[in-house]
């Protein structure tokens, strides 16, 4: 196992993802250059086109200038003819010389533009080549960094005591036993695996140990025709057989102490040869008076005589029902076992001991053998027969069939003898639920049953979370329109007529002391007064008022509530991959951890 030791420095049951992110700054690709715009070419081409379009006009103007030159030279003066001649020369150049010059300029500018395009593309190709080289270098550095980082690191329980595993499949158990077993064996540990599943879950670990030359002992019961009782005393045989038969038939309420005593006394009578289930079955048949001396088979004459005198007639009859039950169980075991000693318990330098229950046996016989192997392991560990240097670990795969008292007693025996115990339960029910939490660390693999997953989630624990419990959204629109019209009209008329006549007459008589002469004096006035007035008026008023208002309101509110929920939902446990597990360890501050025991995740 030297190679295994070199690759595994600490105990591990799988791997946990802790890979750090490798940040690589991406370099953008060079920008593809655009073709230089031929702006000069476009201007020159436009000028050349204009010159070609104006050539006919300039030709006629040139003809006119030539005619004018001739006329002026002939009629007026030749010196004055120089002016139209110069104009004619200029027009001639514009007609024939300017377009040709523009054509040559266009060709020259086009050549210069092509040279600029070639230079630009050459520069771009050089930048692209440099970018590709830099990109390849970055990819190489990135690959080296990724290879240097191990995203999956070993993970295992901090505790060094009992570990319980619940759930999973046969493939998952093979993976976890391979990871755990190689780690413990590499550290110098001694591993004992009691495979009661009939699924050969320890086969990958056993094969790897054989490839690395590790000393192992393996027995497949009952394919190798071994004798499980080899090396046990009569007292041990009595306990093993009685406890094994009682556990296989839990409905039997009779005292197991009496059964153990009967088996012990029968085993003590078989002194001439090693005790096997075949000889033990024949001995019970002798007690039941079912064999004659000539039919004793593997029993000697002295053993036959001793067995005949073991019980009195009254004692035999009172224990006859018990003897029949013991004889039936021993007979079934005798049919599948042999005389060869079961290898595996001898030797101190054995790294791996495997006791495997064959998958070819029926459930009835397998049930007896399952409890028998468990009782044998318990008795041998209690007698101190599992010794050796380094840490010693006992693994029981398929502990579902074992009762809680037996498991607790086995755990106590292992603790007293300094052994670590690992129990693998296929389901979280019956006795598995009763012992849940009795170990120091617990691993949960896939639990397909909803009830089992819920029990596991409850064991993992709960935690407080703030979750949105209420979400309210309101939207309102308010529109109001008011219109008021008022019209007032009024008409009034008034007429007043006044007619008056006024007459006034005043007389006065004056008498003297004696006689006076009567005379009239006074005034009289008369007059007539007339007045007429007419008043009228019309008033009218009209008013209109309009008002409108509108509004929109929106409100959103979220209410949070403190809830006590699972740290890991049951659906997560139901959906785990076959090799994934959740580890709960009270001594681990980061518990619970999510790991995976797939061998492909480990180091190459």
What pLDDT is attached to residue 422? 92
- Min mean pLDDT across 98-107, 260-269, 291-300, 459-468 is at 459-468
Structure confidence at residue 486 as a pLDDT band (50, 70, 90)? low
Of residues 16 and 506, which shows the higher confidence score? Answer: 16
pLDDT for residue 495: 56
Cis peptide before 592 (omega within 30 of 0): yes
Could you give the angle at which helices 234-248 and 256-269 cross, rounded to 10 degrees? 140
Predicted confidence band at 149 (pLDDT cuts at 50, 70, 90)? low
pLDDT digits (tens, 9 = 90+) for 362-421: 888 888 888 888 988 898 888 877 766 677 889 999 999 888 888 999 999 988 888 899
Please report the pLDDT score of residue 164 as a whole number. 92
The answer to whether 369 and 240 have CB atoms below 8 angstroms apart is no
Let me know: does 304 contact 354? Beta carbons within 8 Å.
no
Yes or no: say if 328 and 364 are a contact pair by the CB < 8 Å rule. Answer: no
Is the pLDDT at 578 greater than 60? The verdict is yes
Residue 463 pLDDT: 53
Lowest mean pLDDT among 164-168, 180-184, 292-296, 495-499: 495-499
Give me the pLDDT at residue 9, please.
44
The whole-number pLDDT of residue 147 equals: 57
Asked if the model's pLDDT at residue 206 lies above 60, the reply is yes
What integer pLDDT is reported at residue 509 of this predicted model?
A: 47
Distance separating alpha carbons of residues 365 and 225, to the nearest angstrom: 14
Residue 503 has pLDDT above 90, yes or no: no
Cα–Cα dist 452/596, whole Å: 20
Q: Partners of 497 in the beta sheet? A: 532
Residue 136 backbone phi and psi in degrees, to 5: -65, -35
Q: How confident is the model at residue 604 (pLDDT cuts 50, 70, 90)?
A: low
pLDDT at 170 over 80: yes
The 10s digit of each residue's pLDDT in 185-202 is: 888 888 899 999 988 899
pLDDT over 90 at 345, yes or no: no
Q: pLDDT tens, 214-264?
A: 888 888 887 767 888 888 888 888 888 888 888 777 665 556 778 888 888
Under the banding of pLDDT at 50, 70 and 90, the label for residue 445 is: very high
Alpha helices by DSSP H, 165-202:
170-186
Are the CB atoms for 432 and 399 separated by under 8 Å?
A: yes
Is the pLDDT reported for residue 532 higher than 60? no
Average of per-residue pLDDT values in the chain = 75
Radius of gyration of the chain, Cα coordinates, nearest whole angstrom? 61
Instruction: Output 334 or 526, whichever has higher pLDDT.
Output: 334
DSSP string, 404-426: HHHHHHHHHHHHHTT-EEEEEES
Instruction: Give 604 or 126, the one with higher predicted confidence.
Output: 126
Q: In the predicted model, is pLDDT for residue 557 greater than 60? A: no
């Amino acid at each position: 196992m030297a190679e295994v030791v070199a690759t595994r420095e600490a105990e591990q049951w799988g791997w946990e993802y802790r890979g750090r992110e490798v940040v690589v700054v991406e370099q953008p690709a060079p920008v593809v250059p655009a073709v230089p715009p031929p702006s000069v070419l476009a201007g020159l081409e436009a000028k050349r086109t204009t010159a070609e379009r104006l050539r006919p006009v300039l030709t006629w103007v040139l003809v006119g200038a030539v005619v004018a030159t001739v006329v002026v030279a002939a009629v007026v003066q030749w010196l004055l003819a120089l002016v139209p001649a110069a104009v004619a020369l200029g027009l001639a150049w514009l007609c024939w010389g300017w377009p040709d010059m523009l054509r040559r300029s266009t060709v020259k500018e086009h050549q210069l533009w092509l040279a600029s395009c070639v230079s630009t593309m050459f520069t771009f190709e050089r930048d692209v080549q440099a970018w590709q080289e830099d990109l390849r270098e970055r990819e190489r550095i990135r690959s080296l960094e990724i290879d240097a980082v191990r995203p999956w690191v070993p993970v295992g329980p901090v505790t060094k005591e009992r570990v319980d595993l619940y759930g999973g499949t046969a493939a998952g158990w093979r993976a976890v036993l391979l990871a755990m077993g190689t780690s413990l064996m590499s550290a110098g540990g001694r591993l004992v695996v009691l495979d009661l599943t009939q699924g050969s879950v320890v086969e990958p670990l056993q094969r790897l140990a054989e490839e690395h030359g590790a000393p192992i002992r393996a027995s497949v019961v009952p394919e190798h025709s071994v004798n499980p009782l080899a090396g046990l005393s009569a007292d041990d045989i009595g306990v093993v057989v009685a406890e094994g038969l009682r556990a296989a038939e839990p409905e039997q309420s009779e005292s197991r102490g009496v059964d153990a005593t009967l088996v012990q006394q029968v085993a003590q009578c078989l002194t001439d040869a090693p005790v096997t289930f075949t000889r033990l079955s024949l001995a019970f048949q002798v007690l039941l008076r079912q064999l004659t001396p000539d039919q004793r088979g593997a029993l000697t004459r002295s053993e036959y005589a001793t067995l005949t005198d073991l019980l009195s007639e009254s004692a035999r009859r009172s224990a006859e029902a018990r003897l029949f039950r013991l004889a039936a169980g021993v007979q079934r075991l005798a049919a599948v076992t042999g005389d060869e000693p079961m290898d595996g318990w001898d030797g101190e330098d054995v790294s791996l001991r495997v006791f495997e229950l064959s998958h070819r046996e029926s459930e009835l016989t397998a049930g007896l053998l399952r409890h028998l192997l468990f009782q044998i392991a318990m008795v041998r560990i209690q007698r101190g027969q599992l010794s050796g240097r380094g840490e010693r670990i006992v693994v029981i795969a398929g502990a579902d069939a074992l009762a809680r008292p037996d498991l607790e007693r086995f755990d106590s025996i292992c603790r007293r003898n300094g052994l670590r115990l690992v129990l693998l339960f296929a389901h979280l029910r019956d006795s598995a639920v009763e012992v849940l939490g009795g170990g120091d660390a617990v691993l949960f693999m896939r639990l397909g049953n909803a009830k089992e997953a819920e029990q596991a989630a409850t064991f993992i624990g709960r935690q407080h979370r703030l979750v949105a419990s209420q979400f309210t959204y309101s939207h309102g629109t308010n529109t109001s329109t008011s219109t008021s019209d008022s019209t007032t009209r009024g008409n009034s008329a008034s007429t007043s007529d006044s007619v008056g006549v006024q007459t006034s007459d005043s007389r006065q008589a004056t008498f003297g002391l004696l006689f006076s002469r009567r005379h009239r004096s006074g005034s009289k006035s008369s007059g007539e007064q007339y007045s007429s007035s007419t008043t009228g008026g019309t008033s009218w008023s009209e008013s209109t008022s309009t008002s409108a208002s509108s509004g929109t309101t929106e409100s959103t509110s979220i209410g949070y509530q403190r809830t006590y929920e699972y740290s890991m939902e049951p659906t997560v446990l139901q959906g785990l991959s076959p090799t994934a597990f959740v580890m709960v360890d009270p001594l681990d501050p980061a518990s619970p951890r999510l790991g995976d025991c797939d061998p492909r995740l480990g180091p190459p």
